[in-house]
Amino acid sequence: MEQPTLFEMPEMRLRTIKGYDFGEVSSAMQKAIRRGDARLAGYWAHELFASGFGPYVWRRLLTISAEDCWGIITAEVKALHDGYVEINRNVPAKKARGRIFISKAVILLSLAKKSRDADHLQNLVYDRGMGVTAEELEADLGAAGREPIPDYAYDCHTKKGRSQGKTKADFFRAEQAALRPAEQGLFDDLIARIVED
């Protein structure tokens, strides 16, 4: 019997402990933080942690601190990560503890002033100069205790969002409008042009 080629293999999708799609949970966590919703962001962060994705949660929280938050909040998140690492020294990964550090990071990020300047700098200032056109920028809950994936999690970065026709332009419009609390951004004029197009 002939083995299937890589292109014929069934799609492998990571799932969380409660059966969510990994990418959708990750997207929901970041977008809840952008919207200042600490409760929902914490739910998604702890769903990832409980599913064995603790190191990923920390990488994503550090990225969020640079991508979505104004000021020097990254240093605070890094300090919380260092505390998490310290209390887990000599502890097997499967028995990691210290969810409180993740909770604190999620709360700080959710309450921080929001600014997507760093992401806008790389995508709208730099990449635009590299040939990116304006056009290119263009439930059933099942088990008790499960939160539904919010519609805003489905964007051009998720398979479901892409299948719904979500574009990069839709992403920039929606996520800029959703920042809570928002800080005046250096590149808001570029976002305004996308919104007008």
- pLDDT tens across 27-63, in order? 999 999 999 999 999 999 999 999 999 999 999 999 9
Both structure tokens of 18? 């409660």
Q: What is the pLDDT of residue 1?
A: 54
Ramachandran region of residue 105, left (φ > 0), alpha (ψ -120 to 50) or beta? Answer: alpha
Dihedral of the alpha carbons of 149, 147, 93, 22, in degrees to the nearest 10: -20
Question: For each of the chain's 197 residues, which pLDDT tens digit applies?
Answer: 555 554 555 567 899 999 999 999 999 999 999 999 999 999 999 999 999 999 999 999 999 999 999 999 999 999 999 999 999 999 988 888 999 999 999 999 999 999 999 988 888 777 765 555 555 555 444 444 678 899 999 999 999 999 999 998 899 889 988 998 888 887 888 887 776 66
Q: Which domains does the chain have, with CATH numbers?
A: 12-196 (1.20.272.10)
Task: Enumerate long-range contacts of 79-85, CB under 8 Å, 24 or more apart.
Answer: 80/104, 80/105, 80/108, 81/105, 84/58
Write the CB contacts of 182 (distance below 8 Å, at least 6 apart in sequence).
113, 114, 115
Radius of gyration of the chain (CA): 18
The pTM (predicted TM-score) of the whole model is 0.71
d(CA 185, CA 70) in angstroms, rounded, equals: 9
Q: Phi and psi (nearest 5°) for 35?
A: -85, 0
d(CA 74, CA 57): 14
